Structure formats: structure tokens, C-alpha cells
Amino acid sequence: MTALEQFDAQRRHAAQKHLESFRRRLGYFPLTEANRRFCSDDTLLRYLCACDSDEEAALAKLQATLRWRGEVIAGGGRLPRCPACEADPTAHCFMHVGADAKGRKVIYSCAGRAANKIVHDNCFHMAFELERLFDGNREPGKITWVIDFNGFSIRDMNPNMGRTAFPMFQGHYPERMGQIVALDPPIMFHGFLKAMHLLIDPVTREKLVFLRGTLARRRYAEEMWSHDPALMSWMEAVERCPGRPASFPSLALSRGLQDQATRATLERCAMLAVTKSVDVAHCQSAPQLSLTASKTDPSSTPSGGMSTTPQPGVHGGWSWFRKRCWCSRRKIATSQADTTFRPASTDTSLLAAEIPQCASARELRKPQPTPHTQNREGGRRKHRSTSCCWVCGL
């Protein structure tokens, strides 16, 4: 038993002595049926431990939680469900994947695999998951929160997430955090952690563990997850998956996890990934735009030579390419009747004939001397040569 675990055990032993008097004081307040069910012996002990057996502080903390639960968690006797995940299984990534060697529930989360970046939606999802795991947050137990930084980016460093999540855990889910495991955190995360330093309880800060590198992760897995081969195999496989939504290990590994709700979510993500891959394959097999120009018969179109039918595979017609053609940005636009293009062969030799202004493209691309391009001797600086225009080939 570590020193931190001994400290938690001593606090719980001291809270046991105040349990009866604390329950009598709570009896003076009217409670609904849902709140009475929530205020189990374990719930009262957790609030007493969080306040170091101070009954006044624990009672105020518990009353604040009861008000918050009436606004957020009230489900009419049913466990709440995340509406974002009901609509999209890739919205959040905060799921129960098993238990470690010390009996704590292992929660896996990865910001890169969450498509929903709204702060309150993510906080509510975490609260709903804890409610589900502990039967309305009334049963005993702790969690091991595994935070995977695969796919972590600057958009995931929203300070409002820390300002909302940490007070929620400490205020309404006290003594639930057994350990926080950070897998390969980037350097920019340490600055974010320093900014959130004052919001994190000192005891919680001691439970934060950083694992950097494959060797450290393997040692931790052998120590904590070796008793559950399915969990260990899944955690090893998820390291090799890209950090993006719906990117998880194969269904053969996911179906070995113990939690039925987690297995259902991973199966939905796998089905969505297959659907997206089929859509991408269909788009790649669609007719592509060729760069050969062909004149349109004026008598065959009502617009006097311009085809009004959308061309397959063309994103916005030829104007989509003209916006990206270096030459077309610096030349006089040709007439509408002379710039009608249709999908044909991939030969680009006819493009110069259709756009005669491109002949002077290289002269136009030459950088003009400015006061900023003069060196001390009065000569021009050397400029990097520019490549040919990728549309007209000049």
C-alpha cells in the first residue's frame, strides 16, 4: 500500500466516527426520493473524507450537490444518457474499458477521438458515465482515468474545459478519483496543467502519473492490467490507432471488453467507419475532371455557348481551377463563351491555346524590386525560383 492509499484509508476511518451524527443532521432537511436514495452511507463517507470529517463543510458541500443534481442529473428515476452520443457515437471518448489490479474502474479517454469539442457537452458526458458506473453515484468505488494524448491538438486545450471539469469532479464526485494516468502528454499540456494548478485539489495532484514512451506504458500495463488479457490487448492495440474519431481497435478486441455499453458504442463506431470508407471509395471512383478545353456549340446551349449542366467531378466548374491558377490571377479574364470546359482527356496542351494570356506568365511571376528587397550594396536579393503553374503548365 502506497503512502497516498494509507492517507485515504486513515481519512475514511476518521469519517466513520462521524457518520451517524452526520446522517442525523441531514435528516432535518426534506429530501426527495431520488436524493434519499443518493445519500447512501458511502456517499456520506465520501463527503466527510473530502472535508476532513468537518460536518458543517460536508453538509454544505452535499447540499450544493443535491441542487446541482436536481438541475443536471434529474432523470425521473432513470440513469441519464448523453444525447450527443445517442446521435453520434464518435461525439465523445470517455468510456469504461475494465478494472485494474486494485479494483478501480478504468476509464479511457482521448480528446483526439472525440468529435464534439463543446465543453459542457463533454462534462455532462463524463458525469453521465460516472452515474452509470456507480448506480446513480451511490455505490462505493474509485476510477483510474487514462488520458491518451494521441491526436491531441491546440483546439483541445480549451481552458474552459479545466475550469468546468475539475470543479465538477471535486464538488459533485469527491473521492472518486483513484489515479490519473497521462499517456505521452505533449509539452504544451504542461503549460495548460500549470494554469489549472490552483483548481486541482492537492490530494488529486498527487494521484497524477505521467507515462512517456513505450517502455513505461508496458511496465504500467503489466503491473495493473495483466490480470485482464482483453483489457491489456485492447490498450496495446489502441496505441497503434490514429488519434481521430471512430479510430479504435478491431471489433474482435473490442468485443472482449467487459462493459456492454462500451462494446455497443465501439460497434457503432466501427459501423460508422466502414460507412465512411465506402463513401470515400465511391467518391474516388467517380469521374474526375480533365484539363482539356473544348468549345461548346452555341446552338446546343441556351446560354450562347456556356454549358449550364453541372459537370460530374467538378467542384464549382472551371472557376474552381481558375481561382487556383497563378496565371489567371494576373491576366485579363477571357470572355465567357471562350472559357467553357468539359471533362475530356488529360492532355493539357490545349490549355495554352484557350488562355493565350498565360504565355506571359513567367514574366508576370518575376518579383518586382521593392525597398525591402535591396541589400546594402544596392543589388537585389536572390529569390527562390517558383514552379510552373499547375493548371496551365507554363
C-alpha separations of 320 from 312, 314, 341, 391 in Å: 13, 8, 12, 11
* Highest mean pLDDT out of 105-114, 187-196, 303-312: 105-114
**Does pTM top 0.85 for this prediction?**
no
- List, edge to edge, every strand of the sheet that includes 208-211: 94-99, 105-110, 143-148, 177-183, 208-211
Residue 59 has pLDDT above 60, yes or no: yes
Contact 94/101 with Cβ under 8 angstroms?
no
**Number of continuous H segments (helices) and E segments (strands) in the chain:** 17, 5
Residue 328 has pLDDT above 50, yes or no: no
Integer-rounded Cα Rg, in Å, for the chain is: 31
Among the listed residues 114, 70, 72, 107, the one whose alpha carbon sits nearest the alpha carbon of residue 90: 114
DSSP of 338-349? G--B----S--T
Range of lowest pLDDT (61-70, 213-222, 272-281, 305-314):
305-314
Residue 319 has pLDDT above 90, yes or no: no
Among the listed residues 245, 106, 122, the one whose alpha carbon sits nearest the alpha carbon of residue 183: 106
Spans of all domains in the chain: 3-73, 83-275
pLDDT in tens, 171-198: 999 999 999 999 999 888 877 777 777 7
Residues ≥6 apart with Cβ < 8 Å to 227 = 101
Top pLDDT among 391 and 28 is at 28
Cell of 285: 471512383
Fold (CATH) for 83-275: Phosphatidylinositol Transfer Protein Sec14p (3.40.525)
Contact 234/257 with Cβ under 8 angstroms?
yes
Alpha-carbon distance of 296 to 290, in angstroms, equals: 16
pLDDT in tens, 373-384: 444 444 444 444
Alpha-carbon distance of 234 to 250, in angstroms, equals: 9
